[in-house]
Chains A and B, each alone.
Chain A
């Protein structure tokens, strides 16, 4: 029993780590540009497929970095060509636009790489279980958690210490003033979008190593990422981080006791949070209205 619970908590933390990577990117884009990026999960999938294409040529380690970068470049192109045109308009338009993009990207992935699942080769050095007793902790899982930790730390350091990061944080609070101070807001939004998409691409490569590739691989992560943002509190990246881990673990622990409800429990958590603390656990008053 203890092992079972431990197994599921480990699982939950790993799933939660994916929610966190997804949700942090979504949250960045939502906070600065007021756009919910429905296509975020499809960028994740794209990252996975890019890695699949790159690994034969440059190996896993380089692909881990290059595939998310390529995904981010696709993200910038999409942002420049389309999403930019709906900034400042009724939010229904940005939702519909990214919704349509999600359809197109998913269909394109299916068209190019087929509907069949594909495996992503992971270096054997990190594919072994660490010990016989804790068979479920493979080196790859530890590796994923480390990478997520590094990525999240790097993101927070970027936002805290770099000039662009500080501008992004200022823009989240008051974009008009930032623009009035002479910052190129268009460029800032593109950069911010690219950072968010990079995180999605990275999550895609990591997830592909664990569960393999298919055109819908990101879909199951989208709703939990929304919920992580709502539970953590819109506007707070620390909240998103906490929210992602919380619902990951909560769903996994529910799996032990009542598997049927594992999908639903995260929605219950969201409803409870909204009832008790409408702004979310870490949210500032007024961010969501």
Chain B
């Protein structure tokens, strides 16, 4: 039952210490614009960590809680980014509509392609998701007239959001933007927590722990995995949509399998058996990448070394080590 405590938003009453931790975490997230400058960061960087954290948590919904390994999640992330960018550039000036368009584009395509994948397992599932993910990279790369090709999609701006009389100026104000990101993040994370705490979430964990037993209990394993994959795609494209807003730019490299690998390492480094681990992993990764790439041109070696070190010496991740959960 260790997951119940890690879920945070689980429906059953949990230890008060857990609740306290959760409240502290949200407080830290809400107060980011106030403390980050004092530790040498900037709000834009915190936004990046939050968005990639959402992507890693979305991946972990599948990887950590269903036990199915996708190595192609950059596809859904990138589609979210392009969906939002294209919508803002060609169709509407509403940030909310554009965000929704990004989520739908990645989520729906992920759901459709997921149908082809659900019978595969393990390393083969990973291999096919990598290959499928690259389709969208090549489309974005080649379809110059629509996507800007190699240079990426430019020429759109996130627009201020109006709530009645209130205007949230996410265009000019970095802090307002951060709160919009946090708002969408909170919705997605809350939904993930609710889903994982529900009977559906229990089913997914049952599949992860012992697929054959779950099948004999009458669970339609393929259907549940497809559902989990689709939900994960929707959450991941939400992260991508936010990423486009954050940068006012959609880059074909957001669709590339390199980013897929980075999302996986974030989840694993943070701890793929814990709900919040991937967020921590993403924060560490983003800060490290920012720091190392400003120090040396050989930053790729350092990132590669990070991958190797995590796999060989900290396979349970940062939170996994703290919680001392039993490894599989």
Contact of A260 among B122, B142, B307 (CB under 8 A): B142
Main secondary structure on chain A at its contact with chain B? helix
In Å, the complex CA distance between A264 and B300 comes to: 28
* Residue pair B298, A82 in contact (C-beta under 8 Å): no
* Chain A, range 84-112, C-beta contacts under 8 Å to B: 85-86, 89-97, 99-104, 106-108, 111
Q: How far is the CA of A85 from the CA of B123 in the complex (A)?
A: 17
* Docked CA distance A93–B309 (Å): 11
Question: Contacts A267-B135, A267-B138, A270-B131 hold; do A99 and B123 have CB atoms under 8 A apart?
Answer: no
Number of B residues, CB within 8 Å of A: 43
In B83-109, the 8 Å CB interface with A consists of none
Q: Is B328 an interface residue (CB 8 A)?
A: yes
| Residue A70, interface by CB 8 Å | no
- Judged by DSSP, the binding face of B is helix
- Whether, in the assembled complex, B253 has its beta carbon less than 8 Å from a beta carbon of chain A, the answer is no
0/1 string, A215-241, CB within 8 A of B gives 1 = 000000001001101100010000000
Instruction: Flag if B116 contacts A271 (CB, 8 Å).
Output: yes
B308 touches A104 (CB 8 A): yes
Tell me if A174 is interfacial: C-beta within 8 Å of chain B: no
* Inter-chain contact B304/A93, CB cutoff 8 Å: no
| Chain A positions near chain B (C-beta within 8 angstroms) | 30, 34-36, 38, 82, 85-86, 89-97, 99-104, 106-108, 111, 223, 226-227, 229-230, 234, 260-261, 263-264, 267, 270-271, 274-275, 278, 288-289
Give me 13 other A-B pairs in contact (C-beta within 8 A), A100-B311, A264-B139 excluded. Answer: A89-B315, A93-B268, A95-B69, A100-B304, A100-B305, A104-B300, A104-B301, A104-B308, A111-B298, A226-B127, A230-B128, A267-B132, A270-B128
Q: Which 6 A-B pairs have the closest CB atoms?
A: A100-B307, A103-B304, A104-B304, A107-B300, A107-B301, A91-B123
25 contacts across the A-B interface (CB closer than 8 A): A82-B308, A86-B311, A90-B328, A92-B63, A92-B126, A96-B310, A100-B265, A100-B307, A100-B311, A103-B303, A103-B307, A104-B308, A108-B301, A223-B131, A226-B131, A227-B131, A229-B127, A260-B143, A263-B138, A263-B141, A267-B131, A267-B132, A275-B116, A289-B121, A289-B124
